[in-house]
Structure 1
Amino acid sequence: MYSDLPKVLHPLAGQAMLTRVIEAAEATGADKIHVVTGFQSEMVRNHYQDSPYNDRIHWVEQTEQLGTGHAVSQALPAVDPDNQVLVLYGDVPLLEAETLTKLVAACGDSGIAVLTLDTANPAGLGRIVRNNKGDITEIVEEKDANIEQKAITEINTGIMAFSAAKLKAWLEKTNTNNAQGEYYLTDTVAMACADGLKVSSLTTEDEDSVQGVNNRLQLAELERRLQRKQAEQIASNGTTVLNLDRVEIRGHTTFGKDVVIDINVILEGDNHIGDRVRIGPNTVIKNSRIGSDTCIEAFSHLEDCEIQLACQIGPYARLRPGTVLCDKAKIGNFVETKKTVIGKGSKVNHLSYIGDAQVDEAANVGAGTITCNYDGVNKYKTHIKSNAFIGSNTALVAPVTVGMGATTGAGSVITSDIPDGQLAIGRGKQRNIPNWKRPTKKTD
């Protein structure tokens, strides 16, 4: 990966690859999840230190990297021998729980089942060797395969299910007599056959779901295929996606009816988009709830926001964490908000910064208005009450309250509270200087 970040922590659609594998394992109803780590083990564990998954994972460290069979054997002492074992890989991130559940069921009395794939490009992968009856007799890694075996197109995905007791017995017999000098998990297939057992198999047709990631190119290819699949899914469920190849869902988003998504929209984290919401091009929405009938214009950024019904946002609006827009509120172009509630029907239309503020109903905030909420050490709150009118280029020096129906004159610096219904003007008296000449450019 040419990276300081462990491979399994590289994100795919906003989630670490390993997280996706853990979620797939949980979805099968697994009693316990064992994660075997090796290189950069501490970094992998630290990533989940504050995660809800951490308490549900049994961490195992493989201090020597001696192959897949050796890795699995490190976890087996903590596994009940009466259980079944499903072996997954942290760099195979698109596994489907339904497929895995079927594989576990296929394990049955034989105590072993293999997930296979028939592919046109088997290069570098272990081949499934079958006898004349079609039964699996062994899995041969490419480095150990002969010419005839290399021509086989059915490959081992690496995903296998076992009886825990049988797996332990087989792994105790493995050795490193192979081209890579490692303990192969796949050697268990030949051992099962030697014990007179029929090796069960399940073949998947979804190549992406079993695709491993070994470099950034493969990761990028999976990202594109996953994003396309997600776009197709939401479109099939009733969302209008104007370009299926130019929307990104990096997390989990739910959609109401008749939503329209324009090009280059990014949805990160956990979001909910209500009915009839329109999202303009080049918009980013992260961890936010968007109420029905809201329109978000182009190039807007929303993070950790609550947008209620029928709001108007953008273009070029930035709504930072803690922003709440009440019904029919309007945030216009080049407006930034943070930790602010904009009341029902209130408007902040142009070129303003409103932070640490409470704006009540039906207030109008003029262009260029800022709340001066930070003195370099502490933050302070501004309260603009209902029906207030804030003139253009007003600086509201917090803490300050603008009363109900009060008005500020354009260009004012407001440093104290304004009573209800009053006009406040806080600016220097204008002087016109006659016979004034503009400076001229000096010449050498």
Structure 2
Amino acid sequence: MHAHVILAAGQGTRMKSRLPKVLHPLLGKPMLHYALEAALALKPERLVVVVGHGGEVVAEALKGYPVEVAWQQEQLGTAHALLQAESLLRGFPGPFLVTQGDTPLLTPETLRALLERVEAGAGMALLTVELPDPTGYGRILREGEEVLANVEEKDASPEVKAIREVNAGAYAFDGFLFQALREVRNENAAREYYLPDLIAIYRVHGKRVEAVRGVAEEALGVNTREELARVEGVLLKRLRRAWMQKGVRMVLPETIYLEPSVELAPDVVLWPGVVLKGKTRVGEGCEVGPYAVLEDTVLEPGAKVQAHTVAQGAHLHGGASAGPFARLRPGAVLREEVHVGNFVEVKNSLLHPGVKAGHLAYLGDAEVGAGTNIGAGVITANYDGKRKHKTQIGEKAFIGSNSVLVAPVKVGNRALVGAGSVITQEVPDGALAVARGRQRNLEGYALRKLGEE
């Protein structure tokens, strides 16, 4: 049984953004959510998030998580921020885990290692990492596993500056925590209260302080846009590796963007530049071509998306294909063996098995029967300026090129629509509809007009 406190009150001025730092997205979800999910993986008895700058917006982003919110009204340092959780956790015996909302790479395994040190008798445990260039970080002085001090760089001798082990900002504490916090002083240039000062306070009270050595990558924090991109790169690398280990083929994996909410099956092939977002699900044997973008889209096993296709909220059944350069908008459903070609847009429409729309068409608010062929330039005119209307096309119909179907309208089974027609009335089963001006040839007119006769 333990409590976990996440500090998320910082302003993040170096992000140069109105958005609170901990809400900047990483792979489609707020940075803070990674810290929350790592904390929840250890099943804490209590989970408190301390908010401050932009607190209302941050608190809104916490909805749906089993958290309590504490407020830091003045930004007076990390120790002061942690002290704001005392009123919520008064009487809780400990131990306590404390992490930062801007360190999204920390894993539950690392947090568990900190907790185990305190459960085994240490008063305080802190995560440390070794950096090739520790400039700007406080250095850790230790004897074996025991930490003696955290020396800030401005106070460090040349010998101490040569130490590469630094404080990574994640801690575990015993029940002495809040008493110790009240002993932290702000005798520093910024007049702030800092968590590393607890090392000395715990030692003065005869409590052992231990270090847990972690992986440097895990401790990466985010204070700038550059660091945000760096952390996102680490998360992407982890995701790609995990999916490839499960049987997904990625051609040039470093070019592929995907989010943790995406699900992939074995033998999926992703070509360079693919973007997979939201609740996209790609079934076994599917192929996604170069620079395609899929968001909240389902590809059933055997479906194929070709290069430069954009699909949002679409559903492709087995054997269906889209692209290259197709656009599938929300509600587009392509049943088995449907083909939607280049520069075809489909919105809120059901295309039954075997429908072909090879190029340059718009199908909106439509239902197209099995085996129907949609010619180039066909448009379902679904919007009258106020409301959307539906077009229904039967099975094995043939819609000639450059036709406009003005909804609401119905075209029957095996019906033909002549090229260039504007259809405003129902076309019966098996009928030919031609709705265009009759062709007239005026002999010699063009030459006379040009004065060449």
Q: TM-score range by the shorter chain?
A: over 0.9
Partner of 2:118: 107
Partner of 2:27: 13
Partner of 1:23: 37
Q: Counterparts in 2 of 1:35-434, with a 5 A limit?
A: 35-48=49-62, 51-53=63-65, 56-79=66-89, 80-108=91-119, 109-131=121-143, 133-163=144-174, 165-205=175-215, 207-434=216-443
* Alpha-carbon offset, residue 383 of structure 1: 1.2
| Structure 1 CA distance for aligned equivalents of residues 380 and 288 of structure 2 | 28
3-state SS of 2:85 partner:
helix
Partner of 1:437: 446
* Alpha-carbon offset, residue 294 of structure 1: 1.4
* Alpha-carbon offset, residue 41 of structure 1: 2.1
Distance change in 2, residues 1:47/1:134 (3 Å): closer
| Structure 2 CA distance for aligned equivalents of residues 358 and 83 of structure 1 | 61
| Structure 1 CA distance for aligned equivalents of residues 422 and 94 of structure 2 | 72
TM-score by length of 2: 0.91
Deviations 1:316-366 (A, max 9, x none): 001011111111111111011111111111111110010111112211111
Partner of 1:32: 46
| Structure 2 CA distance for aligned equivalents of residues 321 and 180 of structure 1 | 52
| Structure 2 CA distance for aligned equivalents of residues 204 and 134 of structure 1 | 13
Q: Does the CA-based 8 Å contact 2:145-2:210 persist in structure 1?
A: no
More deviation in 78-87 or 349-358?
A: 78-87
Q: Does the CA-based 8 Å contact 1:335-1:348 persist in structure 2?
A: yes
| Structure 2 CA distance for aligned equivalents of residues 382 and 106 of structure 1 | 67
TM-score by length of 1: 0.93
* Alpha-carbon offset, residue 134 of structure 1: 4.6
* Alpha-carbon offset, residue 233 of structure 1: 2.4
Distance change in 2, residues 1:98/1:58 (3 Å): same
Deviations 1:268-306 (A, max 9, x none): 112211111111101101111111111211000111111
Deviations 1:220-279 (A, max 9, x none): 222223323322222222111110211011342222121111100011112211111111
- The one-letter code sitting in structure 1 at the alignment partner of 2:110 is T
What is the number of residues matched between the two proteins? 434
Identity %: 39
Q: Does the CA-based 8 Å contact 2:70-2:88 persist in structure 1?
A: no
| Structure 1 CA distance for aligned equivalents of residues 127 and 408 of structure 2 | 65
* Alpha-carbon offset, residue 210 of structure 1: 1.1
- The one-letter code sitting in structure 2 at the alignment partner of 1:241 is M
3-state SS of 1:110 partner:
coil
Listed as ranges, the gaps of 5+ residues in structure 1 are: none
